[in-house]
Amino acid sequence: MIEAVDYYGPRSGIAETPICFLDFDGVLHPDAAFKVAGRGIQLLAEGHQLFEWAGILEELLFPYPKIKIVLSTSWVPMRSFKYARSCLPSGLQSRVIGATYHSRAISRHEFALFTRGEQVRQYVVRHCLTRWCAIDDDCEGWPEHYLSRFVQTEDSTGISHEAVQNRLREIFASL
């Protein structure tokens, strides 16, 4: 059994666990989600809904029950880890073991100064991960030697694009 992630260093079993770093905006729905006062997070992309492509990720992950998810989304520092995890369908929620951001380790304002690639790199190094990939629409700050593990999505199509799904199948099979 995998224990909860320790944000200050690796724990038994996590280093060899296959991990998928998961962004939300531009991955599971178009990158047009905004926090609206009194209405929570709203997707301002006509004809789309929040997490509309989450089912695709569930299907892609289904053959690989050992792959766990670490949230690498701005929803965690913006709202909370529990809130972000609760927005996912139950099949994905059950895979979530942590997030790249934790309020006990760094302030959300300091964390926001790091590129997404650097946020993931710090998590990988801190937890000595050997089997991982990342899905994100943000290509800034990814170390060159990490690019083979990085699946970039388009802001408007996320993982709904067939080429992205094919790449994810390939990467998930290699983890």
* pLDDT on residue 42: 86
- The domain in which residue 68 lies consists of 19-174
SS3 136: strand
Total Cβ atoms within 10 A of residue 128: 11
In a domain, 121, yes or no: yes
* Short-list 175, 169, 127, CA closest to 13: 127
What percentage of the chain exceeds 70 in pLDDT?
A: 93
The CATH number for 133's domain is 3.40.50
Q: Could you tell me if residue 128 is inside a domain? A: yes
Does residue 151 surpass a pLDDT of 60? Answer: yes
pLDDT in tens, 71-112: 999 999 999 999 999 999 999 999 999 999 988 888 989 999
Decide if 13 is inside a domain. no
Is 88 a domain residue?
A: yes
Tally of domains within the chain? 1
Answer yes or no: is 34 within a domain.
yes
Q: Is 163 contained in some domain?
A: yes
Closest CA to 74 of 7, 27, 128, 39: 27
